[in-house]
Structure 1
Amino acid sequence: MKNIKNIISFIIMSIVLVSCDDKGIENHDWLQEPNFTNPMTLSLSSNEVVLIKENEDADAITFTWTQGNDRGAGTTLKYFFRIDILGNNFSKDIDDVTKRTVYTEEIPDGVLTKSYTVKQLNSLLLKHFKRPGGAVTNLEVQIIAQVNGGTQFQLPEVSTSSFAATSYSPGPLPLFMVGDAISGSWDYNTGKSLPEITERTLYNFIGDFSVGSFKVIEKPGSELPSYDPVAVNNLVYNETNQRTADNVFKVTESGRHSLYMDIDKGTYIFGYVPYQNVYMVGNAITGIGWDIGKAKQMIWDAKNPEVFSYKGQFDAGEFKLYTQQGDWGGRALMPAINGTKLIPDADAIVMSLMPNANPDNKWVIEATGNYELIVNPSKMTIKLKKL
C-alpha cells in the first residue's frame, strides 16, 4: 500500500512533463473531461455505516468499481482510491499541506475493489480525520483511473460517491512518566500522567523536569510494557527489556520541557521550552501598535517545541518581544543593540533576555511585507524569513 498525500500535484506534474513532448494544444481534446458511453462506476456496499467496537474484525464497507475505459495505444491505467470529508472537495482549494484532509491509496494492478474492516475505518476516522467517537461523519470517496503512456496527456477518468459513518471510541490508553527527572524517583507507583490528546495515538505533556532520566509506562506499579526512545526520535514498544541507561529519556537541562509522542507512528519529540508564550508588540506588528494589552501571541507547535513562529504581514517599524502579555516591565527578548535590523532570510541573530525589559532595545523591520518570524528561546535566536 502506498499512501500518496496529494494526487492532484502528481497529475499536474504529469501535465508539465508530458506536454513538453506532445504536439501542443492543436488537439483541442487533450484536456477535455473523459466522456464515455459506459463510464467507470464506483459502487458502495452501504451508504450508511454504524461502527461497533465488538465487530472490529468484520467488514464495515466495500467499494467496487468497473474497469476504466481504454485510452488508446500505448496507455495503461493506474488506480488511486481517495477519501475525504464531504464538502472538502478533496482538499482542492487548500494550499497548506498540513491542513489537507484527503486520504489516498494507490491500488495494486488488477484490483477493482477496496474493503475496510470496522477497526480500520474507525481508526481512519479517529486518527486521520480527527473525528471523535460517536460522531456521524459524511465522507466522499473517489476512484481515479490515471492514464500513463500514450502520445499526449489525457485527464484521468474519475468516479465519485459518498457515505456516512458513525465512529466509536476505543477507550483511552493512559500513559505515565516515571523517573528521577519527572516524578522524583524510580518508584513505578508514583508516575505522572502523560495527557492523551488523541485516543491511543497522540500524547503531549508540558511541565518541569529535573536533570536525570525517565520512562513512559502503561501501568502504574509496573516497569513494563513501556515506550522507549531509540535513534532519530523513534519509539519502540518494549514488553521484555528492563531499564538500562540506553532505553530511557534523558534530561540534560532542568526546567520546562515538552514531550510529544505519537505511539501509532512510533515517534516522539522532546524539547526545552523555557516560556509558555512569546508575544509581539510594536508599530511593526500589523494591527497591534504599542498597546501592550493587545500584544499578539506567537504560534507554538509541540512538533517543534523550541520554536515560536508567526506568519503574516509585518509593517515597517519597530517591535519588542515579551514572554507575557500586559507588562512593559516584564521579561523581554531583546537585541543587544537598540535598533537591530532583522534582514529577511539572513542568518539568525542572538537575543538577550532582559528580566525587566531594560534597556529598552527594539527590533526593526525595514520594509512592509509578508514574513515568517521565528523565535527560539531555547537557543536564544531570532530570524526573519520572507514569504
Structure 2
Amino acid sequence: MENIYNLSKGVNWPYALLLLLVTLLGISCKTDIYDEFDQSVNAPLAISTSKDAVVLQESLAASEAVAFNWTTGSNYGTNNSISYTLYLDRQGNNFQNAVATDMGKASFQKKYSVKELNDLLLGLNLMPGVEATLEAKVVSNVSGTDLSDSTITTLKVTPYQPVTTTLFLIGDAAPNDWNADEATPLKLNPSAPGRFTWQGRLKAGEFKFITTKGAFLPSYNKGTSPTQLVYRTADAQPDDKFTITKAGLYAISVNLLDMTVSIVEGSAPPYSELWIVGDATPNGWNIDNPNKLRVDRSNPYVFTYNEVLKAGEFKIPTFTGNGWAGDFYMPLVNNPDLSSTGVQLVRGGTPDLKWKITTPGAYKIKLDLETMKINITPFIPPTQIWLVGDATPNGWDIGNATPLVRDAANPNVFTYTGALKAGEFKFPLQKDFTGDYYMPVTPNEDATSTEMKFVPGGQPDNKWRISADQAGNYKITIDVLHETIQFQKQ
C-alpha cells in the first residue's frame, strides 16, 4: 500500500486528466469526421423514387406525392464532405430548363407534396391531364475539389390544372348587384383547395360566380341541378344562373373540385324589434316609452343604438312579456367592463343584470343576435369628411375629394352644398380608397335615402347612386353619430 501511495503521489494529476480529455476529443472528432465525410467512401451514387408513376389530384394537395432518394456516393478517399443538388426536367430536355434544388450536405432525400410537384410540373410546361415522363438527376460535389458524380432516373407523372384561389358572387340577388368590379368575395378554405364559403343577405333575383373581379368570364354557373356547377369560358355557352325567390340570410358553400354548391336559407332572427331602457338613456326607466334600436337593413340580426348616454345603467327589453316581466338581453354579469362583448337572453328579466355607463358621452352600441356579442364603444367624431365619386364635382380623384363642412354647433353634423351629377358617391374619412367610409346601408340607394353606415376599410363597397332625373343642386346633411343622411334638393 505504501508503494502504491508513493507512486500516485508522484503523478501530475491535472496534466494526466488534460491528456485523457484531449485523447477522448480526438476520438470523438475522428468519429464525427468519418460520419460526415467518409460514409460509403467508394459506393457509387444512385437515385431512386418511392413510386414509378404518380397521377396528381388537387383534392390531395397537401399529401405526399413522391420522394426522391439517393445514396451517399464517394468522396474518393479525400475525407472531404459531399454536397448534393437535385435536378428535375421533362424527359428529352437534357436538363436545359431543369428545376435545381440545392440539398446541401448529409441530405439524401427530397419529398414533394402533391401541390408542390404539380406547381413544378406546370412550370416545366407539362400539360394537365396528360401523362409525361419526368427525369430526375442528383449531382454530388466533393468540397474543395473538382470531383463530382451524377445519376439519373425517370418518373411517370400526370399533373392537374388547379382551380382558382379567388371566387366572387355577382348578380341582382348579390349584395353589389351585377357590378363585376365590386363583386362580393367568397372565403377560401386554406386547407381545402377549391372550397369556398359565404354568409350574408341575398335579395330575390339571380346570381352566379366569377373568378376575377371586373371579368365576367370565366364563371361558374348553374349546372343540371341547383346543386351542380358548370364552368363557363365563352359567351356562346349557356348562362344559367342560380335563383333566389325569397330575400333573406343565406349560407353558400362551393366545392370546385366536385363542382357542387350548397345554398341554405338561414333562420330568421328571434326578434325584429328591440329597445333600450335605463337611466343612462334619454327616456330613462320609462318601460312604456323606451328608446328603440335600429335594425340593420343589410343584416336583420344586427341592431344598433347610437346616442349620447348619461352616467347610469341600461338593459335591452324584447317585449315578449308584460313590461318588466318580459325577456331582456343582458350582460353575463352585472355592470361588466364595457370592453366585454358577452350577452345573454334572460327569460323573465331575472336575475336583473345591467350594463353601466360611468363616463357620460356619445356611444355606439351594436348587438349581433347571430354571434351573441355586443360592442359598446365611446364615439369621437372625425374632424373632416370628404365626398368622392363620379356624381361629385371632382369625380373619383381621391386626392382631390370634395370636403364637407363641419357644423360649428354640433361636431357630429357635416354638410355639402353643391351639384350632384348622375353617378355614384360615398364619404371617405381619409383621402385613401382603402380607408374608412360612411356608405349607404345597401347598394345603390338614391336621394331618398335617410340612413347611412360606418364601414371600416370600405368593404362591402356600397355607394349612393344618383339617377339622371335626380341630378341637380343639393344640400346633403349627415349625422355621423346617429348615422343619418338627408338630401335637400335646391
Q: TM-score range by the shorter chain?
A: 0.3 to 0.5
Which one scores higher on RCO, CA 8 angstroms, separation ≥ 6? 1
